[in-house]
Structure 1
Amino acid sequence: MIKVLVVEDDAQLVRALKINLQARKFEVQTASDGGSALRLAASRKPDVILLDLGLPDMDGIDVIKRVRESSSLPILVLSARHTSEEKILALDAGADDYVTKPFSMDELLARLRAAVRRREIPAPADEVSVVTTDDFTVDLIAKKVRRGDRSVRLTPTEWHLLEILISNPGRLISQQQLLLDVWGPTYSEHTNYLRVYMAQLRRKLEADPSHPRYLITEPGMGYRFEG
């Protein structure tokens, strides 16, 4: 059974989420503040976190950063903050998705299922397992990335996007195909997701993110990996 940690201080919303998630066979844990959320994330090992940013004791962005220090589990933000700047802050901190309140329960559940699927998809066993460039190394089996002597921490969504590109060297992958494979069929028009996540990957992997050598954009078409 998939364990979901709901971090939200609105008791009415927590009750609605708990009812809907349990009806779909999720195991639900709840926390009403950031401190409790961090303790539960460490002790109960949830499979995914639904996180409100407006918590009474600390900002949700700080919760994301703290979780990312030791875990790559999927984090879906639930927030009334709807500006692009707020979304980018959350994604840069390590969130995998961002749902703006008020939201459709069906949409939230679809995004939750997609996040869990992305984490569970294994690397193909019959393909090259380690890809080495002049600037970084990617181990597709261990799901690890290194730059020189240090490890690079990627979110599950960043990893899945990189995995698709790096497993198809030199091949142009269309925007629509990447959106379908990484986020699912309801996100075919959300090209802004790709721009944000590709920018994050370039900041983490490219020597000069503004002039990428490996993660190449073909404007209006898609992306490709050049080894």
Structure 2
Amino acid sequence: MAETPTARRRVLVVEDDPVINQAVADRLAAEGYDVLRAWDGPDAVAVAATSEPDVVVLDVMLPGFDGHEVCRRIQADRPVPVLMLTARTDEADVLVGLGVGADDYLTKPFRMRELVARISALLRRVDRAAELAGRRALELGELRVDGPARRVWRGEEEVRLTPTEFDLLLCLAATPGAVVTREKLLAEVWGWDDAAGTTRTVDSHIKGLRAKVGADLVRTAHGVGYALETGGTP
């Protein structure tokens, strides 16, 4: 059974397959979560708007409109961590989901234990993000990062980041120029203690961050991690 604080967390499960929807809802309820359910795109957006869930478990393929559009609309209304469920492993498909504001993804078929662990990790990330966002504004070469306001500028142009991209940037900005390992990023941003097999999540989000702030500012240390450069060199 989940700890008492988890019982106050609300999860919206969006899945058009009734068997999977019921199975996920039953497992999360058994873990102590308050579970809400939806079966199509429009219903998911409506339920999210009225119930304000703490996390959303979202299937990509849905009637009405797909999970990517659901995620886009939910995030435009109110930032909330989203775990996407996908039957595809194509990296481009995953990047589309991350680009519209998803925080993590699971490929079907998945184990319920892993689903519960990912949700718990997402909620820990939200709690850690609140701490990171409280840091003072940072001036890093061309970059200006306002932690409390969660806004970023490169030069005079504001850069629009997803919640996870912003948290990654803050983590890298804490030690400019120094390489931060993938495992540390997982622990600091997502709250995952066991990083085995999950570093692709970091790589996917870093691609999105690099595309927005500039490839020259996010350096890859192959096989290790990433660093935020402030001098404008690749």
What range describes the TM-score normalised by the shorter chain of this pair?
0.7 to 0.9
- Which residue is equivalent to 2:213? 205
1:222 alignment counterpart: 225
What does 1:1-227 correspond to in 2, within 5 Å?
1-121=8-128, 122-123=130-131, 129-133=136-140, 135-147=142-154, 151-183=158-190, 184-206=192-214, 209=215, 212=216, 214-227=217-230
TM-score by length of 1: 0.87
Structure with greater helix percent: 2
SS at match of 1:28: strand
Three-state SS of the structure 2 residue aligned to 1:185 is: coil
Q: Distance in 1 between matches of 2:112 and 2:184?
A: 25
User: Closer, same or farther in 2 for the Cα pair 1:44/1:107, shift >3 Å?
Assistant: same
CA shift at 1:128, angstroms? 5.4
Q: Percent identity?
A: 38
Deviations 1:72-123 (A, max 9, x none): 2111001222322221221122211110111111101111011111111133
> What is the CA-CA distance between 1:221 and the residue it aligns to?
2.3
How many residues align? The count is 221
Distance 1:110 1:197 in 2: 19
Structure 1: unaligned runs, 5 residues or longer: none
Whether the 8 Å CA contact 1:48–1:75 is kept in 2: the answer is: yes
**Which ranges of structure 2 fall in alignment gaps of 5 or more residues?**
1-7
Cα displacement (A) at 1:29: 0.9
Q: What is the CA–CA distance in structure 2 between the aligned matches of 1:63 and 1:151, rounded to whole Å?
A: 25
Change in Cα spacing, 1:72 to 1:152, as seen in structure 2 (3 Å) is farther
